[in-house]
Amino acid sequence: MMTPKRHLLLVSNSTLHGGGYLEHCQDHIQKFLGAKVKRVLFIPYALHDRDSYAKTARQKFESLGYGLDSIHEAADPVDAVQKSEAIFIGGGNTFQLLKDLYDNGLISVIRKKVIENGIPYIGSSAGTNVATVSINTTNDMPIVYPPSLQALGLVPFNINPHYVEPDTNSKHMGETREQRIFQYHLEPDTPPVLGLREGCMLLVEGTKATLLGITKARLFSRGKSPSEHEPGQDFSFLLQQ
């Protein structure tokens, strides 16, 4: 069986309170991409105004020393992925993002480029959601209908970005994020869910996964109590699911 060449940086959120776009993780992005990557292919499908979104992403990546091409400007999206040096998928609506990935025939193409060819993949929020088994644990509303909830499957578990505990002083009676993940795990054969709080990210290199950033993550596994994990935690065991 081939060992995956995964090189992933899966970020919970694009903007952290008090900072600019990708500012809280820009040092990690530079270290992750290194000097070999010259241009990044941006996939802005999660937002409707793709021109504006691409402009924001381009300004950030150029400030870090990388050129950026947006796939929505390419004549052939599949060819753009096949020629890419690195891929960045940003946040927005996960259902819209996944639908457009399917509609443009990009699911298997991206998976092959990342897992078999080993090109770097950066996901943020919705872009992190689609890197997992499915988008069943996204926080977003299903504003459109993708052909399937199955995602890129770059890792064999799910992630809940922007994970947050309920405000104990709030009178809101709706379900908590934890309760919704518990409901997901009532279904059979559901994989673990890693709740990434804003400010943290998961670095995956081959068969190794490490929590980075400034906040903790909360791990949910079917039939087990949730567990808290500090930055630096080795999550490689999740890749063996």
**With b meaning 16 or more CB within 10 Å and e meaning fewer, what string describes 101-136?**
beebebbebbbebbbeeebbbbbbbbbbbbbbbbbb
Active site residue 162: yes
Q: Which of 162, 221, 229, 236 is catalytic?
A: 162
Active site residue 148: no
Question: Residue 152 and residue 221: Cα distance in Å, rounded?
Answer: 21
Active site residue 236: no
Whole-angstrom CA distances from 195 to 43, 99, 125, 230, 233 are: 24, 23, 12, 12, 14
Q: Which of 14, 84, 125, 134 is catalytic?
A: 125
Q: Name the burial class of residue 228, with classes exposed (0-12), middle (13-18) and buried (19+) by CB atoms within 10 angstroms of its CB.
A: exposed
Active site residues: 125, 140, 162
